[in-house]
Chain A
Amino acid sequence: MPQTANPIFSDDWLGRAQTRVNADPEMQVIGTWFTTAFSLTCTDRRAEQRAIVRFERGRLVDIFPSPRLDVRCAFGFRAALEIWTKFFAANPEPLYHDFFAMLMRVPGFVLEGDTLVAMQNARALHRAMNVMRGVEP
């Protein structure tokens, strides 16, 4: 699919997410073993935007917008733009306020790939996603 210009997971958005996550004092406490890469995929009717973010000991060290096939990741989150928009809202509505809530109650929100790796990193992953919530679109 061609890339789209939606602001979620754009290069600019990802750069600001990286700054925000790496400045998080809690991640510096809990991220010691958070070394993995995962994808973030946003789809809409016309296009798909996919990026891979790679963490090294709790720091977001690499961002791969539009990754080539040789960029590996263990797992990823995939959802439509309208779902991601609700998740990243400043005051998220019920069922969209937490990725575990969406995994249980929002059918279009998908955890793909090796879910075991995702759950091994549940605490830091959960924190990272919540910190990214503070990134302005």
Chain B
Amino acid sequence: MPDLEPIIGRYLSVNVDEVNYRIYFEEAGEGIPLLCLHTAGADSRQFRHLLNDTEVTRRYRVIAFDMPYHGRSNPPDGWWLQKYLLTMKGYLALVRSVWLALGLERPVVMGGSMGGAIVLKLAAEYQRELHGIIGLESSAFAPGRYNDYLHHPAIHGSELVASYTFGLCAPSSPEASRRENWWYYSQSGPGVYAGDVHYYSLDWDGREDIKTIDTSVCKVSLLTGEYDYSCTPDMTRAVAAAIGGSRLVIMNGMGHFPMIENYPAFREFLRPELDFMATA
């Protein structure tokens, strides 16, 4: 018998503002929809351990998709005529379109980094459509990550982006896992990480939006790694302070990519939050 993982990959067509996208997603499990958003310049492979975790998938339908331009989701037609710059508005619309196209009923949306930022906006805008959000490395305002070298003709973008993000992992996370994330980062297209960081570090400011989140309607769990220097623990503490009833977990010995850099440790932090999300 072949040693198959339970993950199934498929393609989904969505239309956002008259633009068609072919979206690749992977899923496993049954139960409450848990929609997972990867970090800037990466793709849904970051969630492979979660998708293979039967303790999670026996009560959650875990779905992770690649944003357009990332992984196996193509850019839209005509991409060569426009510079890739992700915006808050476009990101928000795309994520919502995916859960509507899949017919997910009141999903939990979990995102990391830029995904951890957009889940805050999703909760502010669509809290009655959501079961809850789990923000991994969530900040409401995260300047300082953009620089022009991230997409520069004199620099090997893949190696720079992968090295630039490598130290966002905690030094104590398993080397093979940190290197795996390095490899994913080395595979983004030219300017894609920079385009994502345009949203994360230049376009995103949710400091007022998050004050409107009602945790009696949409549950909020925030988990941030001790070694994350992009979204520091203090930045997430500020988010938690602005959202009454939110749950905050600072993950000791963890960095910016908990789902991939050290899944065995991460699942111990995540499990109580999934329990919390599953309660009525």
Contact A94/B229 with A116-B155, A120-B155 known, Cβ cut-off 8 Å? yes
B163 sits at the interface (CB 8 A): yes
Interface of B is mostly: loop
The residue from B152, B171, B232 contacting A97, defined by CB atoms under 8 A apart: B171
Q: Is the CB of A122 within 8 A of B159?
A: yes
Name B's A-contacting residues (CB within 8 A).
Answer: 144-145, 149, 152, 154-156, 159-160, 162-164, 166-168, 170-171, 226-230, 232
Residues in chain A near residue B226, CB distance under 8 A: 94
Using CB atoms and an 8 Å cutoff, list the residues of chain A in contact with chain B.
Answer: 91-92, 94-95, 97-101, 104-105, 115-116, 119-120, 122-123, 126
In Å, the complex CA distance between A123 and B159 comes to 6
- Please state if B164 and A122 are interface contacts (CB–CB under 8 Å): yes
B154 touches A120 (CB 8 A): yes
Task: With both chains docked as a complex, state the minimum distance between the C-beta of A29 and any C-beta of chain B, in angstroms.
Answer: 13
Which residues of chain B are near A92, meaning CB under 8 Å? Answer: 171
Complex CA gap A120/B170 in Å reads 24
A91 to B172 alpha-carbon distance, docked (Å):
9
Q: Assess whether B167 is in contact with A100, with CB atoms less than 8 Å apart.
A: yes
CB distance from B94 to the nearest CB of A (A): 28
Question: Is A95 in contact with B229, judged by CB distance below 8 angstroms?
Answer: yes
Instruction: Name the A residues within 8 Å of B230 (CB-CB).
Output: 104
A5 to chain B minimum Cβ distance, whole angstroms, is: 29
